[in-house]
């Protein structure tokens, strides 16, 4: 029996606004989920997240397994209590880390591909140079699971679907994901199918393991993940298979080109049960989030808001800006006059630019706060627009101003 309750309150086309009830609180959807990779959103206290309007936080299974270890989190009372967060929590499966440490190691690959395929020898690392020089390829996938060496100390570890679920049960999040293989969008069709079929087998094993733990099954929900890369036929097939297994919710995972995002969603979503929640994994660029909402997605997570914030870039209604630019040195205007974020209203672009240039951590914190607040407000606005029957106009207006088209 699922620990979740989900109801849809309003619709506009495929877009929907609903309420997701978890053991640790209610989430009004659509909702953006800040990522606290190691049980903490970088630079931001949980109380600040609440002030920004965050409803739920997602942490990373791979990283928490390695450090501090899932038993410590369990002994603390679970992820929420461990990180002093009172609201709902989620954990991923470690599947994306398998992708990052294995087939994608030494390549610049993200969940959204840009441009044409690159030969492996012409791409650069997704990891820092010191990590790359120490390890080479860190993960090897087989049909039973993945063997990998820790990026922290080089020790050998192994994840299987069963082990991933056991770790996530110990972490105690309200919602977690089945173990999957996330492929690069540049992989050929034949490998996308192979990885998809492996993901389906792993999904069944993950689900079986979770259902056998009666206590965990009563308090935690498990989401299956749809794969298939950029190929609409594979996305459709994967969604149909994952939907048939009996999960509590669904994730759209993997990676694809930005141009193929809409098509991938249109292929997958009709095959998923309408009455269950859907999470778009690793998607956080403002326009992409609105595309997801327009296609019927309910939840989104991404590290981009805080990652670019740490480097001095912020979102604005007129597009992203990089505060290290010379023109912002004397700009005494607000970070974004069209979207004020709680806790950042009194800071000027000139001040934050100064903090960023000086290498002060406050600059990164303010930018991260602003970006998270921006995305959260954007999604809250989309939710209200769905209720009001004006989401299409809301999205069109944002896209025109943000992208200048």
Task: Give the active site residues.
Answer: 92, 301
Q: Count CA atoms within 13 Å of residue 199 on its CB side.
A: 36
What is the DSSP annotation of 59-124? E-HHHHHHTT-HHHHHHTTSHHHHTT--S-EEE--SHHHHHHHTTTTTS---SEE-SS---GGG--
Q: What is the DSSP letter of 328?
A: G
How distant, in Å, are the alpha carbons of 45, 91, 141, 190, 251 from that of 120?
A: 40, 31, 18, 17, 28
Number of DSSP helices (H) and strands (E) in the chain, helices first: 16, 18
Contacts of 347 (CB under 8 A, 6+ apart): 334, 335, 366
Contacts of 13 (CB under 8 A, 6+ apart): 294, 391, 392
Distance CA 362, CA 339 (A): 20
φ, ψ of residue 135 in degrees (nearest 5): -125, -30
Distance CA 109, CA 114 (A): 9
Residues 209 and 170 sit within 8 Å (Cβ to Cβ): no
Contacts of 87 (CB under 8 A, 6+ apart): 24, 25, 50, 54, 55, 56, 57, 80
With the CA atoms of 94, 125, 110 and 400 taken in that order, what torsion angle do they form, in degrees rounded to the nearest 10? 150
């Amino acid at each position: 029996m699922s620990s979740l309750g989900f109801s849809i309150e309003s619709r506009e086309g495929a877009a929907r606004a609903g309420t997701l009830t978890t053991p640790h609180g209610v989430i009004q959807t659509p909702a953006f989920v800040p990522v606290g990779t190691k049980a903490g959103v970088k630079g931001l206290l949980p109380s600040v997240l609440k002030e920004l309007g965050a409803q739920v936080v997602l942490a990373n299974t791979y990283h928490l397994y390695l450090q501090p270890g899932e038993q410590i989190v369990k002994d603390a009372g679970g992820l929420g209590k461990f990180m002093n967060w009172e609201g709902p929590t989620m954990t991923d499966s470690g599947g994306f880390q398998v992708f990052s440490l294995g087939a994608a190691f030494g390549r610049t690959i993200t969940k959204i591909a840009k441009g044409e395929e690159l030969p492996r020898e012409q791409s650069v690392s997704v990891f820092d140079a010191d990590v790359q020089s120490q390890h080479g390829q860190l993960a090897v996938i087989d049909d039973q699971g993945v063997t990998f060496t820790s990026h922290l100390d080089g020790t050998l570890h192994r994840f299987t679907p069963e082990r991933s679920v056991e770790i996530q049960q110990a972490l105690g999040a309200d919602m977690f994901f089945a173990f999957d293989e996330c492929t690069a969008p540049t992989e050929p069709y034949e490998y996308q199918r192979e990885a998809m079929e492996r993901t389906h087998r792993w999904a069944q094993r993950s689900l079986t393991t979770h259902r056998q733990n009666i206590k965990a099954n009563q308090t935690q929900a498990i989401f299956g993940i749809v794969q298939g890369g950029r190929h609409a036929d594979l996305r459709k097939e994967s969604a149909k298979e994952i939907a048939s297994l009996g999960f509590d919710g669904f994730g759209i995972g993997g990676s694809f080109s930005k141009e193929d995002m809409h098509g991938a969603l249109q292929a997958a979503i009709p095959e998923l049960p309408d009455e269950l929640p859907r999470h778009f994994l690793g998607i956080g660029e403002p326009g992409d989030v609105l595309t997801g909402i327009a296609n019927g997605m309910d939840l989104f997570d991404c590290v981009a808001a805080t990652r670019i914030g740490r480097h001095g870039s912020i979102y604005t209604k007129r597009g992203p800006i990089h505060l290290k630019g010379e023109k912002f040195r004397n700009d005494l205007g607000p970070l974004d006059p069209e979207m004020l974020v709680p806790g950042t209203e009194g800071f000027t672009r000139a001040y934050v630019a100064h903090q960023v240039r000086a290498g002060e951590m406050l600059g990164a914190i303010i930018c991260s706060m602003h970006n998270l607040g921006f995305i959260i407000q954007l999604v809250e606005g989309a939710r209200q627009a769905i209720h009001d029957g004006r989401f299409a106009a809301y999205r069109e207006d944002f896209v025109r101003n943000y992208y200048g088209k």
